[in-house]
Structure 1
């Protein structure tokens, strides 16, 4: 469909749209209209209907799935993943949502995470298999009787795949003999890099930066002082908070502040479908960090590697957790000296409690959504390379309360799209104004943060006997 042209809908869609206009609070009608628009290729119109339906029912999975599908078909992969984030953080989420996540991740070129999401989804419900996604991942499309599915895996041939790497919510696999793993490569996925980002590049979050500085940086910067008290350089910190709040950015800044090596570890660098390979990948990653000390070793989405063993339905998953704990402890007292282990998660309550023992991730640091001044600073950075008129970023920051960095990027992207259309018509770049950003902010909603805070509230108010979530109390009681 050509941009800028108002589509002419057929009579059936026109009737549905008129009915929705006359009955704006009719959720089933709006959802049906969105599905019909999507089916006939009116993607922007379908997105608008699903957004309106989502306002009526923020937790409606059918509406969320429709909105995500509309985003993916418009190549808005980042927005699709942001909409899926609160759903994927919920245990036992529908497998079809995992397939949608795989499609979005493929669009962003993240094959490793896409494969993980797709494997996990079809392991629980083979009927959601998507041949196009399977082909893009260079794996055969799964079905109820496919030999690659765990229930039909063969154990006679060495190296036979186990099927999907299962998370704690995956369905149990049928019994079979352990498959031999291929010879492990040495930390194939993880790479050593040098970060040029420092804490000066992180807007706001002074309390978080101070916690990281005392726990991780000062022992290396002033070793004699800490040695006098028997404290060694090293240790672990778990960063947690809503999606898009800047946890990864903070980890890079900590490495840059120290001038240390930085190793960023994703799920695709560790998880493997063969028995024993994930554990070997984990050990090789820690060995890589130890050879490059001082080093900041950063695990993103650590809840997938450190899930509660009581929730794990596969022995394989429990073995990964055990290996992770063993690597954090080290083979001897000095094994991890100079290795600063940072991890980030959106779901800290699903992490095995053994990881919070002293000497492991014994400090939990809450990374909140950015405050007013931080939002203004983030907006300045996002707009610095664009044609601008006189801008009042503080005004936009006031209009974007509860939004995180990812939400703010979405606001700027929407404003840029509007200015691009104006510039094409004018034949020259038209500067972006404060009103453009305010209009885009008015149409945006910090859905992921609200969903995350709703979940956090349950844990803070009803499952906080240990006091682990005390840092969340001011946010839950004061702002949400």
Structure 2
């Protein structure tokens, strides 16, 4: 046993007790190198560089341990490995003309001793920024609110929450109105919540990024939270951006009813992203949509998150007329009484009206094939389709009626109550 061995043993015990003490670890590595115990020194230096890759002292000791000559020294284009041997060819890790990151070279040398800091598969693409995001579809919406039929109350609420402050920056600054914010669209399925979100993005001239549960969930622990964070980061890079959370009840379900610990942590990550804890959300407008707002965790509706709720109802008569005209305009039609069809389609969603037109076209086409001559889509085809297509919103309205009667704590669903009273459903 040499004179340095007791000191090395004491320092090793001290480093084991305080693994984050990098100066102590580097001192121990230097003594190990002096004692000819290069393998042990490399292990300690690898851990030091894992904790602080930019530590010049650790880098110098690692070069010494690996036999890499200091910058400007040695023979150009060659290096001698520790213990002698054949000089490394130019371009090898550690050679002066090597384009490889020295830390990457250290990781390869220490692969059997210290695990790498990061693991990347050979076919995984490099990270990208800005408009070049290829992991997620960052779109430019061409839809405007003028393209949305009816829904004047919804448009007015969107104008107050988002569009007005954006168009009037001086007034926004005077009143202290932030561009951060979140709004939840709720209502029966098929009533145009996604279309409205695209229209808001188009009206603002902002990018549009849609997020659904399939973009987030992953079978490996921690990957779902990372996916959610990267989606928000993509929105922040492309600000101003409308980030649309489709079916937000799937990601932000009431935590008291969630039995899966992984889904609970995803919900917590969503709350953290909405708060901007991982980055500034300035210029990121969060719109969420759900058919069942009563299943959404109450924490998501707190101030600063999705704190405003807008009820998106089945289209009114004016909107139904506009939707029917849109879906019939490129089809051969004759003798259609739109007023009659509009009156017969109360409670139909936009998706139901599209299906109604599609069904009428199917009847006319089948009849043309049977007759051997082409004919126009007529009122009779729509009347026949009305006997088959039923409004899909009525089951939702039945559930909403129970919520309005028994679960309207704090007046959250007052607008829904008012609608049901107007329809004499409550």
Q: TM-score range by the shorter chain?
A: 0.5 to 0.7
| SS of residue matched to 1:466 | helix
SS at match of 1:310: helix
Paired residue for 2:336, among 386, 391, 395? 391
Task: Please tell me whether residue 379 in structure 1 is matched to residue 293 in structure 2.
Answer: no
Shift of 1:392: 2.2
Shift of 1:189: 5.1
Shift of 1:477: 2.1
Corresponding position: 1:245 with 2:245: no
1:255 aligns with 2:185: no
Is the Cα contact below 8 Å between 1:399 and 1:442 reproduced in 2? no
Aligned equivalents of 1:393 and 1:314: distance in 2?
Answer: 50
For residues 314-325 of structure 1, what are the structure 2 equivalents within 5 Å? 314-325=260-271
Pair member with larger Rg:
2
Q: Partner residue of 1:291? A: 237
Contact preservation (8 Å) 1:289, 1:296:
yes
Are residues 1:423 and 2:383 paired? no
Distance change in 2, residues 1:189/1:343 (3 Å):
farther
Counterparts of 1:344 and 1:188, CA distance in 2? 24
Report the CA distance shift for 1:310/1:189 in structure 2 as closer, same or farther (over 3 A): farther
Alpha-carbon separation, structure 1, partners of 2:260 and 2:203: 40
Partner Cα distance (1:297, 1:263) in 2: 5
Distance in 1, matches of 2:374 and 2:177, equals 57
Partner of 1:203: 149
Query: 1:471 and 2:397 equivalent?
Result: no
1:309 aligned to 2:255? yes
Alignment match, 1:365:
310
Aligned pair count reads 298
Counterpart among 387, 412, 433 of residue 357 in structure 2: 412
Per the alignment, residue 459 of structure 1 pairs with 403
Alignment of 1:133-148 (within 5 A): none
Alpha-carbon distance between aligned partners in 1 of 2:310 and 2:330, rounded to the nearest angstrom: 33
List per-residue Cα deviations over 1:297-351 (Å, max 9, x = no partner): 001111000001111111111111110011011038x811111100100010000
8 Å Cα contact 1:220-1:338 kept in structure 2: no
CA distance in 1, matches of 2:247, 2:363: 34
Distance in 2 between the 1:305 and 1:437 partners?
39
Q: Of 262, 273, 287, which residue of structure 2 is paired with 1:342?
A: 287
What does the per-residue CA deviation read over 1:84-108, in whole Å, with 9 as the maximum and x for residues that have no partner?
A: xxxxxxxxxxxxxxxxxxxxxxxxx
Equivalent-residue separation in structure 2 for 1:398 and 1:189 (angstroms): 45
Q: What is the distance in 1 between the residues matched to 2:420 and 2:325?
A: 29
Query: What is the aligned partner in structure 1 of residue 173 from structure 2?
Result: 227
> Which SS does the other structure have where 2:411 is aligned?
coil
- Structure 1: gaps (5+ residues): 1-180
After TM superposition, give the deviation of residue 413 of structure 1 in Å: 1.5
Q: Deviations over 1:50-69 (max 9, x none)?
A: xxxxxxxxxxxxxxxxxxxx
Are residues 182 and 418 of structure 1, via their aligned partners in 2, closer, same or farther at CA, if it must alter by over 3 Å?
A: farther
Structure 2 gaps, min length 5: 1-118, 128-132
Secondary structure at the counterpart of residue 244 of structure 2: strand
Taking structure 1 as the reference length, the TM-score comes to 0.60
C-alpha distance in 2 between matches for 1:442 and 1:425: 22
Once residues 316 and 340 of structure 1 are traced to their aligned partners in structure 2, the CA distance between those partners, rounded to angstroms, is 27
Distance 1:397 1:370 in 2: 10
What's the Cα RMSD here? 1.9
Q: Distance in 1 between matches of 2:216 and 2:120?
A: 14
Q: Distance in 2 between matches of 1:308 and 1:188?
A: 32
SS in 1 for 2:170: helix
